[in-house]
């Protein structure tokens, strides 16, 4: 079994057991980490895997959130249908916007995605009859889910957590498979040297567009989960500051590690909850962290752990000729085609070592996550469940509404 899947299963196990020992509020936070983690990994399909910095993923998050919220408030409220609709419509929106955006590179791409996202933001703000304008949509229900054998009462925090865990796990699994698929290889090639791709017979823009749409689907799915999670949805989730969230999470967790953004989401969410209760100057801390990360740790925490483990493994290989080294040697000899799992792992681009390392990086991530997750339990000041979460969305430097003051 590939190391990443081992890490994934270990993480899943931890995520399944963890809430049993936590208070309701922390289960609530954990749910948010899952949702934002999915958002960030969806973003990172573009950033880390395709080399496109989108400053407008909030638009698709919001599209998913609003579609799902409206469905849940409609005559046939069903969460699974709401999620599917939210994800698909967000993907459709991304397909349309992406068609415009993928013609540009780097900074220009970031700018068009930002401009288009702002358009959607203003549209949400102004289209009051449907979106509720600045008030947003409140009282989003979480209808019970009949699974046949048992019913999930999603209005209960724990039940909703497990439902979210199932959805996010499935979504992350699909995303992971996509990064390993032939399509995923094409995306990594686009990231590495996008001008070259066309000359291998691959229309580069079409791959960018497909990546944009797929990313939109998963960002939309995250948004669709977020609507019933919060119970209220406001235009703040379409704002460009919300677009910056997955950027920061990914940078923090490491764009080169599949689950890195989830680690980033965990750290940011927990830090925010902790800091926001102590100070309103949360953006100051995030800003400082971002600047320091970009300056000193561009690979993110996940990347740093991976590199550290890489160095240790490399040292170990020289001294002891460990399993890792024999596996690497086998790969170098690699004429023998399809040598099984070891070869499969080697697909991460840095050769055999990296495959092993990516797994190890993930282990580091899990350790950090667990540490953070448990560390907060006793440490957190006695907050009312939900209060700080709401405060964060409202209070993170919410900008003036468009047109409130024309300049």
Nearer to another protein, 119 or 367 (CB): 119
Nearer to another protein, 198 or 371 (CB): 198
Instruction: In angstroms, give the least distance from the CB of 42 to another protein.
Output: 14
Residues in contact with another protein, shown as a per-residue x/- string from 175 to 214 under the rule CB under 8 A: --xx-xxxxxxx-xx-xxx-xxxxxxxxxx--x--x---x
312 near another protein, judged by CB under 8 A: no
332 near another protein, judged by CB under 8 A: yes
Name the strand (E) or helix (H) holding 85.
helix 79-101
Tell me the two tokens of residue 96: 């349309």
The footprint of another protein on residues 335-354 (CB under 8 A) is 335, 337-338, 343-347, 349-352
The footprint of another protein on residues 26-65 (CB under 8 A) is 47, 53
Residues in contact with another protein, shown as a per-residue x/- string from 236 to 255 under the rule CB under 8 A: ----xx--x--x---x----
Tell me the two tokens of residue 120: 């959607």
DSSP code per residue over 278-324: H-S-HHHHHHHHHHHHHHH-TTHHHHHHHHHHHHHHHHHHHHH--HH
Distant-in-sequence, close-in-space partners of 326: CB < 8 Å, separation ≥ 6? none
Q: Which of 80, 151, 173, 281 binds another protein (CB under 8 A)?
A: 281
Residue closest to 95 by CA, chosen among 231, 220, 239: 220
403 near another protein, judged by CB under 8 A: yes
- Tell the residue number behind the tokens 């000729």, with chain if given: 321
57-66 burial string, b = 16+ CB within 10 Å, else e?
A: bbbbbbbbbb
65/222 Cα distance (integer angstroms) = 8
343/328 Cα distance (integer angstroms) = 9
Tell me the two tokens of residue 246: 């997955």
Q: Considering CB under 8 A, how many residues would be counted as binding another protein?
A: 91
Nearer to another protein, 197 or 266 (CB): 197
Tell me the two tokens of residue 49: 């895997």
Instruction: In angstroms, give the least distance from the CB of 341 to another protein.
Output: 9
| CA 181, chain centre distance (Å) | 19
Instruction: In angstroms, give the least distance from the CB of 202 to another protein.
Output: 5
CB 242 within 8 A of CB 395: no
The footprint of another protein on residues 119-148 (CB under 8 A) is 119, 122-123, 126
Q: Where are the beta strands (DSSP E) in 35-108?
A: none
User: Which listed range, 14-22, 37-45, 165-173, 280-288, lies at the site for another protein (CB under 8 A)?
Assistant: 280-288
Nearer to another protein, 139 or 182 (CB): 182
The footprint of another protein on residues 96-115 (CB under 8 A) is 100, 103-108, 110-112, 114-115
Q: Which of 59, 85, 116, 217 binds another protein (CB under 8 A)?
A: 116
């Amino acid at each position: 079994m590939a190391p990443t899947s081992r890490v994934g299963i270990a993480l899943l196990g931890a995520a399944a057991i963890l809430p049993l020992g936590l208070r309701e509020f922390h289960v609530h936070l954990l749910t948010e980490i899952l949702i934002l983690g999915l958002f960030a990994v969806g973003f990172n399909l573009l950033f880390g895997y395709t080399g496109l910095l989108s400053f407008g993923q909030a638009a698709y998050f919001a599209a998913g959130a609003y579609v799902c919220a409206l469905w849940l408030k409609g005559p046939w409220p069903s969460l699974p249908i709401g999620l599917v609709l939210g994800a698909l419509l967000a993907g459709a929106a991304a397909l349309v916007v992406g068609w415009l955006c993928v013609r540009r590179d780097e900074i220009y791409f970031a700018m068009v995605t930002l401009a288009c996202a702002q358009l959607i933001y203003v549209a949400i703000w102004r289209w009051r009859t449907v979106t509720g304008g600045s008030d947003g949509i409140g009282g989003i229900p979480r209808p019970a889910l009949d699974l046949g054998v048992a019913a999930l009462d999603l209005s209960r925090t724990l039940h909703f957590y497990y439902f979210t865990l199932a959805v996010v796990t499935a979504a992350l699994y699909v995303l992971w498979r996509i990064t390993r698929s032939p399509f995923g290889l094409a995306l990594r090639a686009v990231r590495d040297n996008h001008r070259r791709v066309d000359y291998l017979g691959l229309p580069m823009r079409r791959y960018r567009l497909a990546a944009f749409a797929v990313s939109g689907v998963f960002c939309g799915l995250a948004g669709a989960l977020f609507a019933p999670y919060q119970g209220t949805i406001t235009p703040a989730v379409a704002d460009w500051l919300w677009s910056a969230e997955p950027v920061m999470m990914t940078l923090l967790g490491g764009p080169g590690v599949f689950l890195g953004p989830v680690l980033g989401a965990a750290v940011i969410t927990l830090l925010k909850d902790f800091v926001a209760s102590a100070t309103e100057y949360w953006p100051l801390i995030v800003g400082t962290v971002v600047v320091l990360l970009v300056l000193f740790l561009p690979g993110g925490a996940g990347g740093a752990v991976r590199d550290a483990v890489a160095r240790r493994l490399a040292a170990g290989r020289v001294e002891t000729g460990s399993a890792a080294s024999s596996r690497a040697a086998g790969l170098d000899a690699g004429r023998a085609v399809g040598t099984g799992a070891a070869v499969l792992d080697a697909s991460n681009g840095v050769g055999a070592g990296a495959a092993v390392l990516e797994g190890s990086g993930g282990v580091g991530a899990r350790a950090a996550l667990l540490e953070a997750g448990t560390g907060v339990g006793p440490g957190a000041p006695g907050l009312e469940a939900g209060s700080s979460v709401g405060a964060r969305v409202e209070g993170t430097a919410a900008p003036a509404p468009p047109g409130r003051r024309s300049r």
